[in-house]
Structure 1
Amino acid sequence: MRSALAFSLALSAAPAFATPPPMASLTLPAGFHIAVWTDQVPDAREMALGTKNTVFVGSRDAGKVYAVSYAADGRVEKIRTVASGLQLPVGVAFHNGDLYVSAVNRIYVLRDLENHLDTPPKPELVTDKLHTETAHGWKFIAFGPDDKLYVPVGAPCNICDRGDEGFAQLWRMNPDGTGAETVAKGIRNTVGFDWRPSDKSLWFTDNGRDMLGDDLPSDELNHVTKTGEHFGYPYCHQGDTPDPEFGKGKDCKSFTPPVLKLGAHVAALGMRFYDGKQFPAAYRGAAIIAEHGSWNRTAKSGYRVMSVRFNGNKVASYEPLVEGFLKGEKVSGRPADVQPLPDGSLLISDDDNGAIYRVTYKN
C-alpha cells in the first residue's frame, strides 16, 4: 500500500488514448445530445459537485483526484490535479466546502478546497479504521441528508462469508470519522448510491458474484427501508437464488430482494437520481445508472447508461439513455459514474477513455 501523499499544482496533461472517445457510435433517445466535456481525466471514476462551478473526480489506477472548473454555460475552463499518490481514490464527496476522499482503509479531507484549487491544502486524516483489503476495497462515498458520510465496505472476495468482520456492508459515520455504524448488510460491492429527492430514502446498486455462468446472478438495484437490513450476500443472490456453497439451509425470503434485477455481470456502478428540469418530465425522479460492463461473460453485457423510472417504489421502466460503447464484442468505453449538473445536464465519467461526457436535451 502506498502511504505517502504527493500534491500537484500543475494543470493535468492530456492522456494518451488507445482510441479516441467513441462519440460517433453513441445513441440516445430523441432530443438528447452527448459531447465530450473533457478528455483530460485519466481513470475517471466517481464525481462530486462543488458549489462554485467545480466538479471533483476520483480515479482508481491513476491514484489522483482532479478538479474540473467550468463556466456558466457548462464549458470546461481548467483542470487541476489536486491530489496524487493516493491508493485507489475512487470516492469523492463534497460537504460544507470540504472534499472527502476515500483511499481503501482511509478517508481524507481537504479543507476549503474549492477556494484553494491552485494551492490545495494539506489533507487531514478522517479515519484509518477501515479494512486494508483492496479486493472491492475502493469506495464510492457520499454524504446523506443526515449529514453523515456513507462508506461501503465490500466483500474481500468473489464469494465468502465475512460479514461478522464488518465486510459486505454499508456504513455511515460523522464527518470527523466518529460514530461509525452499519446501515445495511449482505451487500457484495456497492459502487453507487443516492437518496431519492421525494422521500430522502437510500437506494444503491450492487454487483453480483462471478463464476455462476453467463446469466447468474443479476446485478441489483436496492432500496433501504430500515437500518440494518440484510440484502442476501453471500447466502442468496438476486433475491431468489441460493448460493451453491453458502446458501445451504438459508431461505431467500429471509432477506430483502432487489427492487430491480439489472442483468448479469453488467457491473452497475455509479447511480444518481435525476431531479433537474432540462430533461423531459418523465425523467424527473428517475435513477440514472452507469453500467461499466462485464469482464467474464461469453457475450459482453453492460457498457451503457440506463434510466430507471418509478411508480412509487415500483419500477415503471428500465431503458437505455446512452448506448453504443459496445458494438458486437468490441468495447470503446466504460461508463463509471453519472452526475447531474445544476443546469439539468448530465455528466458521465468513462475511466477507459479518461473522459467525461455531457448529455443535454433540446426539444
Structure 2
Amino acid sequence: MTPRRILGLAALAAALPGLALAQQTPAPPAWAQGRPAEMANSRLAPHPPRLTVTPPDRVPVASLRLPEGFQAELWAHGLPGARVMVRGPNGTIFVGTRVIGRVYAVRDTGAERQVSILLQGLTQPSGLAIQGGALYVSAINRMLRIDNVEQNLANPQPVDMTAAFNLPDAPHHGWTHIQFGPDGRLYVPRGVPCNICETDGERYALIASFRPDGSDRRIEARGVRNSVGFDFHPRTGQLWFTNHGRDWAGNDNPSDTLHVNLRRGEHHGFPWCHGGFQDPAVPAQRLCSEFPPPALILGPHVAPIGTHFYTGTAFPERYRNALFIANRGSWNRERLSGFNVVVVREAEGGRLVMEEFLSGLRDDANQRFLGRPAGLLTMPDGALLVSDEENGAIYRITYRGR
C-alpha cells in the first residue's frame, strides 16, 4: 500500500466520528428556526394535521357555540385537510388543502353533499380562486388553471401557468391564499422563507397582483410576513389582510394582526416590526413608528386564515359587510389561543370592534382543541360556510332569529 493511500485512509478514519455525528444530528425543522437556546427542550411544535376521514358522528358540531339566534349544522364531511372554499358559477364548492395535497369538489344535490377529489398529489394547494368558469389552483411550486371546471369534474385538464406567474417555490410559508380583486387582477401573497430573517423584499414578504394570464406583476403590499387570508371591502374595494407574527418571541408576543392596505406598495413593517412589536432579533434599522399601525390586534399566535367579508343579507344588520376571521389556532404558545371565528365590525366613528362569533372548539380546561376553523364562504342564501381543517368538515351557519 502506498504512503499516499495510507494517509488517505488515516484522514478518513479521523473524520469518521465527525461524519457520524453530522449524520446523527439532522438540521432543525423550519418551524424551529429562531428558537432560543434556552428553549431547546421546549415541547412546543406544530400540531400534526389529521389526514384521515373523520366519521360524521365524531365531527364536533354539537360543541359549537354561536350568538343567540344562530345555529350550526354539519353541511359536508369527508374532506381531510379542508381549508379555503370558493364557489363555481353553477354552485360547486371547491376546497383547497395543504399537507394532504388535494383539491376537492363538493356538489349539493339537495338531499346530500357529494364530495369528490378533483386533483391530488400537489404540493400544498391551499390557494383557490374562480374567475368565470375557470378555477385557479395555487400550490407552492405550481399555478394551474382549469377552464370550464364544473363541466369537467370527472376529467379536469389543468393548464400549467407556473412559468407565467414565476412565483418563488421556497416551502416555508410558501402556501398561499389567492383571490381575484374588484379590479379583475389575481392577488397572490408570498410569505417569508423563514421564521424571522432579512430577505429579498421583491420576492417575499409581500402581496402581489397579476393579470389573469400571469403578466403585469405589481406589488400591492410590502413587509407582510405571512398573510394566509385577505378580502376586499364590499363598499370601498380596499384590500384587508391578516398577518401572522413570528414564533419563538414569547407566549404573548407578537400578536397576529389585521391590516388595511391604503395605498399600493405600502410597507407594513416586516422584518423589523410585527404590528407594533419591535423585533429584538433584527437590528433596529427601522422603527415601528415608521409603519402604519395595524387596523386591529387579533391576539398572540391565533393564526388567522380565513378572512372574509360577509356579503349576505340573512344575518342581522350588524353583521352585514362585517369581516369574519377564522383563527386556526396556536402552537407556539403554552396556553392555546384561537381555534375560533371572530367578527370585526365598524362601530361609531369608524372604530373597529372584534367579538367572538364561533367558539367551542378550544377546551381551555384540558388545553386541547376539537377542531381548527380555516375557510369562510358566504352562500347565495346568506348562510356562512366554515371549513374545519382538523375534522375535514364544513359547517353551515344560519340565522333563525330570537
Instruction: State the AA in 2 paired with 1:331.
Output: F
| Mapped partners of 1:208, 1:28: distance in 2 | 28
Task: Give the corresponding residue for 2:159.
Answer: 124
Aligned counterparts, 1:209-358, within 5 A: 209-238=246-275, 240-311=276-347, 314-328=350-364, 329-358=367-396
CA 1:264–1:183: 2 relative to 1, 3 Å: same
From 201, 223, 226, give the equivalent of 1:186: 223
TM-superposition CA deviations, 1:67-98 (whole Å, max 9, x none)? 11124x6x643222111111100011011110
Instruction: State the AA in 1 paired with 2:77.
Output: D
| Structure 2 residues without counterparts, runs of 5 or longer | 1-51
Task: Give the corresponding residue for 2:97.
Answer: 59
- Contact 1:309/1:317 (CA < 8 Å) preserved in 2? yes
| Mapped partners of 1:221, 1:104: distance in 2 | 24
Secondary structure of 1:24's match? helix
| Mapped partners of 1:89, 1:360: distance in 2 | 29
From 153, 157, 167, give the equivalent of 2:204: 167
Instruction: State the AA in 1 paired with 2:245.
Output: G
Identity of aligned residues (%): 43
Q: 1:232, CA displacement in angstroms? A: 0.5
| Mapped partners of 1:237, 1:230: distance in 2 | 12
Q: 1:245, CA displacement in angstroms? A: 2.3
Instruction: State the AA in 2 paired with 1:97.
Output: G
RMSD over aligned CA atoms reads: 1.8
Secondary structure of 1:163's match? coil
From 61, 66, 87, give the equivalent of 1:23: 61
CA 1:237–1:77: 2 relative to 1, 3 Å: closer
| Mapped partners of 1:99, 1:210: distance in 2 | 33
CA 1:194–1:284: 2 relative to 1, 3 Å: same
- Contact 2:54/2:77 (CA < 8 Å) preserved in 1? no
Task: Give the corresponding residue for 1:50.
Answer: 88
Task: Give the corresponding residue for 2:10.
Answer: none
| Mapped partners of 1:302, 1:254: distance in 2 | 29
Q: Under a length normalisation based on structure 1, what TM-score does the superposition of the two structures give?
A: 0.92
Greater share of strand: 1
Instruction: State the AA in 2 paired with 1:352.
Output: E
Secondary structure of 1:67's match? strand
Greater share of helix: 2
Secondary structure of 1:44's match? coil
Q: Under a length normalisation based on structure 2, what TM-score does the superposition of the two structures give?
A: 0.83
Q: Matched residue pairs, number?
A: 347
Secondary structure of 2:161's match? strand
Task: Give the corresponding residue for 2:46.
Answer: none
CA 1:279–1:18: 2 relative to 1, 3 Å: closer
